[in-house]
Amino acid sequence: MKALVISVDLGNPDFQAHSEEFIMLAEGAGAEIVGHLVARRQRPDAAYFIGKGKLEEAKLIADEHQADIILFDQPLSPAQQRNLERGLNRRVVDRVALILDIFALRAKSHEGKLQVELAQLQHLSTRLTRLWTHLERQRGGIGMRGPGESQLEMDRRMIGAKVKLLRERLDRAQRQRSTQRRSRMRGGIMSISLVGYTNAGKSTLFNALTRAGAYAADQLFATLDTTTRKLWIDGAGQVVVSDTVGFIRDLPPTLIAAFRATLEETVQADLLLHVVDASSHQRDEQIVEVHKVLADIGAGDIPRIMVYNKIDAAGYEPRVERDEHGTIVRVFVSALTRAGLDGLRQAIVESGQVAGNNAFNVENI
């Protein structure tokens, strides 16, 4: 599908990285980028987010390149989206909807699909007015007589009922997951979650540690469903390692809420391995974004080890760094070549202090 990307520079210092990331998202969704328009504004326009002049320029570019769809790199209000679609005469997909679309594309597990559908319906419920041309038409005829109900009201009622049903199903899945987690806790098994920015290499590291076959690819949000495996580490005994969905800057609040059940593996973990793409120029900003999301989901105080991955691409050697107290602060590894994994395993043993009775007592690093 041919797409015109519209990026809006509101004066943020990380605009370029934000823009490049959005294009990666678009390509990950299967879009063929035929044009890229940058609009610079001090503040969003109430009606179009971009000004009327940029709107006309976008229409010309879209017509010239025969773009099928407009991808907008900011979250839009329902009114802004409706106005843009009318002005551009094309479907407009904002940042939130694009991320939801990728999540729908990648979700494989039953629970993951439920979570995506819930988030999509919550996003859709505020935008119903743009989907129908017959919103106020009263339905009549045999079996439909009486006070009547507008199509919009029916749509809202149907979505509300579906949202309720999805939440009930997710609650059941969450209770099942909690039961499994309590069983592991009773068995004294240490729980470790891999967290990090999307495309940092978490799934590749997960596969390298556990010899699992979790899907791993050089794309944003390659992993959406939590995968859990047991692993034996000498000195630590049996541990459970979970690979979780990657984080991204400005993650839509609806997604954080919808995926809270999956992210509970992170919240309930004994130790977080914060995987960082050591080769990324934006790694410091990405670290900050991950810390924000961890705080949002209530995992900000869980002990963690910083794991600098992709050292083969960054030109670093595998090593373990400690602070002046001898506490491990960073581990440098390559999940792809498996360099540095022995150091990571030793870091887990030291951090967990789990030798013998699997008791966990670790300081934040």
Is 199 annotated for ligand binding? yes
CA distance 59 to 118: 33
Is 76 annotated for ligand binding? no
Is 228 annotated for ligand binding? no
Is 140 annotated for ligand binding? no
Contact present, 206 and 341 (Cβ < 8 Å): no
Is 299 annotated for ligand binding? no
Residue linked to tokens 């991320």: 99
Is 201 annotated for ligand binding? yes
Is 9 annotated for ligand binding? no
Closest CA to 297 of 346, 255, 328, 353: 255
Is 309 annotated for ligand binding? yes
Is 312 annotated for ligand binding? yes
Is 143 annotated for ligand binding? no
Distance set, CA 177 to CA 112, 123, 228, 255 (Å): 13, 26, 11, 19
Is 125 annotated for ligand binding? no
Is 310 annotated for ligand binding? yes
Is 14 annotated for ligand binding? no
Contact present, 239 and 231 (Cβ < 8 Å): yes
Is 202 annotated for ligand binding? yes
Is 178 annotated for ligand binding? no
Is 266 annotated for ligand binding? no
Closest CA to 203 of 309, 64, 349: 309
Is 311 annotated for ligand binding? yes
Buried residues in 26-39 as b, exposed as e (16+ CB within 10 A) = bebbebeebbbbeb
Is 245 annotated for ligand binding? yes
Is 344 annotated for ligand binding? no
Is 243 annotated for ligand binding? yes
| Binding-site residue positions for GTP | 196-203, 221-225, 243-246, 309-312, 334-336
| Binding-site residue positions | 196-203, 221-225, 243-246, 309-312, 334-336
| Binding-site residue positions for Mg(2+) | 203, 223
